[in-house]
Amino acid sequence: MNLRELAQHLGLSKTTVSRALNGFSEVNEETRLRVQEAARRFNYTPNVSAKRLATGESGAFGVVLPGASTEMADPVFGEFLAGLADGAGRCGRDLYVNATFDGEEAGYRRLARAKAVDVMILANLKVEDLRIRLLSHLGLQTVTCGRTAGSLVYPHLDIDHEDGVRRAVDLLAGLGHKAIALVSGPADLSASEQRMVGWHAALGRRGLAAEAGLFVAGPATEDHGYRATRALLALPTAPTAFLCASMFLASGCCRAIGDCGLKIGRDVSVIAHDDGLATVRPEAFEPALTTTFSSIRSAGGRVAELAAALVGGADPATLSEVWPVDLIFRDSAQAPPRR
């Protein structure tokens, strides 16, 4: 069935059917749903070339990976990308992943010249992320997973890193911990700064010192978690509790605690952030880890929906969400030992 036949079947104009299928806001919800249901029933697939000529859209979202990027080897980013691809498919869009070997900026410029994508997707935002302004200058619409400093308005989805850390600190302080370390990811990432702000605020509200030596930033890897924890446990006044910004950092942290002859839950408490990866589960640790939780795959799917809404004409200022973070109590967070 082609567009003309589908329109005749529905008793609508080809223009109305096309706009309903492409999410234009002037088509009312009842008509849009009726058109979409008929398209599914008759297995209607729009002609991509005709659609691009009619709408000026490519029908694709884009992600650029620098040639030396380790993102594809990062399970967290891979999970986000999987959610993004699923979400793009549900929205009838393709996902274009471009690995570039002459720099990230060059990749964006090529995509802009070719008009290859409708929206660029950015993740792992830095505190001052120049990519957003660059994409705006190139005329590329942008949706981000994360927030960053700056005056530009852009659609984004983020989790409440500050509140997640505040709640974790409140739990540990309520159990009696006074020296609470934060083992974070790279310091230049916006998420790391948000966590540090939450850590400072929560400790200050409890009248506890946010000592600079108890905050350690670095790669979100098992090795960094191990080395940071060993160094922190060697301090004259070692922390009795650790907040880890990822499950990989937590894995290294737990290994270091064991190598120092200490037991998690008895001698030292650990809370980690869990992105919902199937390969690293908090319940598999001994004891099971207390976590803050937010699914990175779900975030990827929602970012795709925001991108589709942006292409459909939604106001960018209305496409910003900050998800709350769940705190899940398990046996790794206990009262500190008496000394």
What integer pLDDT is reported at residue 49 of this predicted model? 47
* Residue 145 within a domain: yes
* Residue 179 within a domain: yes
Coil, strand or helix at 249: helix
* Residue 26 within a domain: yes
- In angstroms, the CA 260 to CA 262 distance is 6
Residue pair 162/194 in contact (Cβ under 8 Å)? The answer is yes
286 and 305 within one domain: no
9 and 102 within one domain: no
Coil, strand or helix at 112: helix
Q: To 5 degrees, how large is the angle CA 149–CA 155–CA 159?
A: 70
The CATH number that applies at residue 29 is: 1.10.260
265 and 190 within one domain: yes
Q: Could you report the per-residue pLDDT of 48-62, keeping only the tens digit for each?
A: 545 554 555 778 999
The CATH number that applies at residue 75 is: 3.40.50.2300
Q: Could you report the per-residue pLDDT of 278-292, keeping only the tens digit for each?
A: 889 999 999 999 999
247 and 133 within one domain: no
φ/ψ (deg, to 5) at 327: -115, 120
* Residue 101 within a domain: yes
Q: How far is CA 196 from CA 181, 202, 283, 323, in A?
A: 11, 10, 26, 18
223 and 140 within one domain: no
Average pLDDT, the chain: 90
165 and 186 within one domain: yes
Q: How far is CA 14 from CA 18, 48, 116, in A?
A: 6, 16, 26
Which pLDDT band, with edges at 50, 70 and 90, does 1 fall under? confident
Q: DSSP per residue over 119-153, as a string?
A: EEEE-S-BSS-HHHHHHHHTT-EEEEES--SSS--
110 and 66 within one domain: yes
* Residue 261 within a domain: yes
* Residue 49 within a domain: no
170 and 143 within one domain: no
Q: DSSP per residue over 144-158, as a string?
A: EES--SSS----EEE
- Token pair recorded at residue 177: 């911990």
Residue 112 lies in domain: 60-159+298-323
What integer pLDDT is reported at residue 55 of this predicted model? 53
201 and 81 within one domain: no
Which pLDDT band, with edges at 50, 70 and 90, does 29 fall under? confident
Which pLDDT band, with edges at 50, 70 and 90, does 73 fall under? low
Q: How many helices (H) and strands (E) does the chain have?
A: 12, 12
* Residue 121 within a domain: yes
| pTM for this predicted structure | 0.83
Residue pair 244/250 in contact (Cβ under 8 Å)? The answer is yes
188 and 166 within one domain: yes
Q: How many domains does the chain have?
A: 3
145 and 187 within one domain: no
68 and 174 within one domain: no
* Residue 119 within a domain: yes
pLDDT at 169 > cutoff 90: yes
Which helix or strand (DSSP H or E) is residue 274 part of?
A: strand 269-274
231-237 own/partner pairs: CB under 8 Å, 24+ apart? 232/181, 232/183, 233/257, 233/260, 233/262, 233/268, 237/179
Provide the terminal-to-terminal Cα distance of the chain, rounded to the nearest Å: 77
Q: Please compute the mean of the pLDDT values over residues 69-77 and round it to a whole number.
A: 73
